Structure 1
Amino acid sequence: MNISVVIPLLNEEDSLKELHDWIVSVMQSNSFSYEILFIDDGSTDNSWQVISQLVERNSNVKSIRFLKNFGKSQALHAGFAQAKGDVVITMDADLQDNPDEIPALFKMITQDQYELVSGWKKKRYDSVISKNIPSKLFNWAARRTSGVKLHDFNCGLKAYSNVVVKHIEVYGEMHRYIPVLAKNAGFIKIGEKIVKHQPRKYGHTKFGMNRFINGFLDLITIWFISRFGKRPMHLFGALGVIMFIIGFGFAFYLGLDKLFFNPTGRLITERPQFYIALATMIIGSQLFIAGFLGELILRTKSQQKRYYIKEALNLEAKA
């Protein structure tokens, strides 16, 4: 199996047949062995019916249907678990990602020896105010925080070596940061390719401005996990020590001042420094407890299912 194309989707009934035919045309013209994996993330339109028809027409088409909408990251996780291709291509189902880019992406993985190649929609057909400007700010922050030098982290059109998708854990809303997850897992040969962005032909976007707010929050999360995910005590313990030093410093000052310099002055409990010392030492203790709890959770956590599959076509479903 040369290529697996993983396509997460939500309510894209109008575009699926055209996208399928376009991908098949590209695969046949390049003599690729392929499979197409549609991951229906709880669509409420006729998307599943269209996919079922495509499966009957083409034995290379496979699909998973979620019980409800669990999110794009979960859809990609399910697709990655099933992908058998040496190269795994992801793209959105709205026809804004161009399947004609697949051969060049395939070459960058197989010949240029990249482990991951991310598309860069340099020229976009989205709204400048609602998407382009926030996207540029988001990508700038992601570059500075992660150290991964990509222009477009959120581009759905990406190519992976099979070993990458089998060794990264995509969860929550972390699909935006798959290159960062790959880097943290040890895959450092990450490339970028300018790809053609197409105007939306059917339906409407499923993402609003809130995705950028969530994206920045997820960026903080992935920074924390990549730095301290394996040893949370390193962060909370260090902050606890700082707070203890501050609190002990104020307490030591108050003790010296009362004993040697101002024994008849105000009571220690009447001075604001006493409450600063008390508060910082309590906060320091709480930070230490948070670090210990983090270490305990890390060592006792159990794997929980993050999505539930309702149906699968032409493959054995795995949750």
Structure 2
Amino acid sequence: MNLSIIIPLLNEQESLPELHSWIVKVMKENNYSYEILFIDDGSTDDSWNTIENLSKENSCVKGIRFLRNFGKSQALHAGFAKAQGDVIITMDADLQDSPDEIPGLFKMVTEENFDLVSGWKKKRYDHVVTKNLPSKLFNWAARKTSGVYLNDFNCGLKAYKNVVIKNIEVSGEMHRYIPVLAKNAGFGKIGEKVVIHQARKYGESKFGMSRFVNGFLDLITIWFLSRYGKRPMHLFGAAGVLMFIIGFLATGFIITIKLIKLYSGFDTILVTSNPLFYIALTSMIIGTQLFLAGFLGEIILRTKNNEERYKIASEINLQ
């Protein structure tokens, strides 16, 4: 079986030679047939030149360079599209993921027949406040929302069957939730393996508060898409019906009160003076808008075209 190792990176020139040597050592020790795909996500340092030099030393090294920084999910998407191995390993370029874990992940996919195996960095060396606590919160929310019970969704070290990566769409910042995407695509055998986490050796972490916020927004998006992505009218239509019911009940109550007052001779107040009138009107307007949103969602779903989400500047050893 062939291995594809996909490594998205941003400004990691110092780590790349050491990471490459480490991977090659593991490949030779286990007699693996392999390819290494470095995806340069718009680095501004000398990362691309380093990848070019490594490809001259080792024909198994391949590279893709984006015109600018498009994000890790887009980098993984590009790597998945080009990967040719039967088993795909993804890992970060900062040396925090150990290549020595690859044989164990490979065996879980090939021998235990897992569709996807996610690494679990049980003991972490990241900053407690800026990364550990947000990661724990992410993982808890992802488990509760998705029903995929992994301890570490954020771990970049994962192994996949080729058929999995060819049948999922990774966009936005959905790379955190690839196991959820795989489950939604019908791949149910998802496992987890405790892996070693190493302290960053070079450079600085790319993690920031914007990624913390974006991660939660993407979690809401993936929850919505997993339940209503193929049938948006079911959500918006149901909400629209609820608003119409509220509006009709309020209208019925207003009419009833109006008739009672008419027959009793005490009708001196205009309908527009009743707060329920505005509740009924607002509810019906919102209900109409929700129905329109559902219809538009259905139309877009049926007519959408796959858009190019990144631009590639250069490739190495790829056709």
| TM-score range relative to shorter protein | over 0.9
Residue of structure 1 in register with 2:271 after alignment: 268
Looking at structure 1, the residues matched to 315 and 228 of structure 2 have their Cα atoms a distance apart, in angstroms, of 38
Residue of structure 2 in register with 1:130 after alignment: 130
| SS of residue in 2 equivalent to 1:142 | helix
Q: 1:233 touches 1:294 (CA, 8 Å); kept in 2?
A: yes
Q: CA deviation at 1:210?
A: 1.9
Q: CA RMSD in A?
A: 0.8
**Alignment of structure 1 residues 233-312 onto 2, 5 Å:** 233-261=233-261, 264-312=267-315
- Indicate whether 1:26 and 2:26 are aligned: yes
Residue of structure 1 in register with 2:228 after alignment: 228
Q: 2:131 touches 2:207 (CA, 8 Å); kept in 1?
A: no
Alpha-carbon displacement from aligned partner over 1:85-106 (angstroms, at most 9, x marks no partner): 1100000000000000000000
| SS of residue in 2 equivalent to 1:207 | coil
Q: 1:81 touches 1:166 (CA, 8 Å); kept in 2?
A: yes
Residue of structure 2 in register with 1:190 after alignment: 190
| SS of residue in 2 equivalent to 1:213 | helix
TM-score scaled by structure 2? 0.98
Looking at structure 1, the residues matched to 187 and 34 of structure 2 have their Cα atoms a distance apart, in angstroms, of 24
| SS of residue in 1 equivalent to 2:118 | strand
**Alignment of structure 1 residues 67-86 onto 2, 5 Å:** 67-86=67-86
| Matched residue type, 2:207 | F
Looking at structure 2, the residues matched to 210 and 175 of structure 1 have their Cα atoms a distance apart, in angstroms, of 15
**Alignment of structure 1 residues 56-67 onto 2, 5 Å:** 56-67=56-67
Q: CA deviation at 1:160?
A: 0.2
Unaligned runs of 5+ residues in structure 2 are none
Q: 1:258 touches 1:265 (CA, 8 Å); kept in 2?
A: no
Shift >3 Å, 4+ stretches: none
| SS of residue in 1 equivalent to 2:96 | coil
Q: Identity rate of aligned residues, in percent?
A: 71
Unaligned runs of 5+ residues in structure 1 are none
| SS of residue in 2 equivalent to 1:35 | strand
Q: CA deviation at 1:261?
A: 4.3
Looking at structure 2, the residues matched to 206 and 129 of structure 1 have their Cα atoms a distance apart, in angstroms, of 15
**Alignment of structure 1 residues 3-14 onto 2, 5 Å:** 3-14=3-14
Residue of structure 2 in register with 1:111 after alignment: 111
**Alignment of structure 1 residues 28-67 onto 2, 5 Å:** 28-67=28-67
| SS of residue in 2 equivalent to 1:159 | strand
Alpha-carbon displacement from aligned partner over 1:238-275 (angstroms, at most 9, x marks no partner): 00000000010000000011112465141111100000
Q: CA deviation at 1:172?
A: 1.1
Q: CA deviation at 1:207?
A: 1.4
TM-score scaled by structure 1? 0.98
**Alignment of structure 1 residues 84-163 onto 2, 5 Å:** 84-163=84-163
**Alignment of structure 1 residues 161-200 onto 2, 5 Å:** 161-200=161-200
Alpha-carbon displacement from aligned partner over 1:164-222 (angstroms, at most 9, x marks no partner): 00100111111111000000000000000000000000000111122111111100000
| SS of residue in 1 equivalent to 2:234 | helix
| Matched residue type, 1:58 | N
Residue of structure 2 in register with 1:15 after alignment: 15
| Matched residue type, 2:67 | L
Q: CA deviation at 1:36?
A: 0.3
Q: 1:4 touches 1:37 (CA, 8 Å); kept in 2?
A: yes
Alpha-carbon displacement from aligned partner over 1:259-294 (angstroms, at most 9, x marks no partner): 124651411111000000000010000000110111
Q: 2:94 touches 2:200 (CA, 8 Å); kept in 1?
A: yes
Looking at structure 1, the residues matched to 71 and 267 of structure 2 have their Cα atoms a distance apart, in angstroms, of 67
Looking at structure 2, the residues matched to 160 and 268 of structure 1 have their Cα atoms a distance apart, in angstroms, of 64
Q: 2:62 touches 2:316 (CA, 8 Å); kept in 1?
A: yes
| SS of residue in 2 equivalent to 1:143 | helix
Alpha-carbon displacement from aligned partner over 1:15-73 (angstroms, at most 9, x marks no partner): 00000000000000011111100001111100001000000000111111111111101
Looking at structure 2, the residues matched to 239 and 203 of structure 1 have their Cα atoms a distance apart, in angstroms, of 49
Residue of structure 1 in register with 2:201 after alignment: 201
Q: 1:168 touches 1:182 (CA, 8 Å); kept in 2?
A: yes
